[in-house]
Amino acid sequence: MRELYLMALYATRAGGAASGEVLSEGEHEVALRVALVIGRDEAEARSRARARLFELCPPEEGWVNHHIVSSGMSRDELRSLLESLSEDEDSDGGPPELIM
């Protein structure tokens, strides 16, 4: 049986390394994504999320501190999430990424 996990994918890199953006010394660029990940268990879901995070934020481009935080989701929580997404179509962040 496959489970659904809500995950936060996080990575940082030294200020504007690839974008050419100039930041103050010590500042870092942060990438934070929210994803729904499907897997047989949490380990498989984390593995899929980590692979996707490395695609989005490759170490070759200066991305470090790749980190994943996960939480299981019940059917009621999923229904609530989908309901809130359909009500808030104008949100700036957009819907979470689905990693299968």
pLDDT of residue 31: 93
12 vs 32: CA distance, rounded Å: 9
What mean pLDDT is predicted for residues 56-62? 95
- Structure confidence by residue, pLDDT tens digits, 67-87: 999 987 788 887 887 787 676
Q: Is 16 left (phi over 0), alpha (psi -120 to 50) or beta?
A: left
Is the pLDDT higher at 30 or at 86?
Answer: 30
- What percent of the chain lies above the pLDDT cut of 70? 74
90 vs 52: CA distance, rounded Å: 26
- What percent of the chain lies above the pLDDT cut of 90? 45
Instruction: Render 61-94 in DSSP notation, one character per residue.
Output: GT-EEEEEEEEE--HHHHHHHHHHHHH-TT-SS-
pLDDT of residue 78: 78
First to last CA, the chain: 14
Contact 97, 33 (CB under 8 A): yes
What mean pLDDT is predicted for residues 17-30? 67
- Structure confidence by residue, pLDDT tens digits, 2-15: 888 889 999 999 87
What mean pLDDT is predicted for residues 19-43? 81
Task: Output the CA–CA distances (angstroms, integers) from residue 36 to 20, 24, 28, 47, 67, in the order listed.
Answer: 31, 34, 26, 13, 15
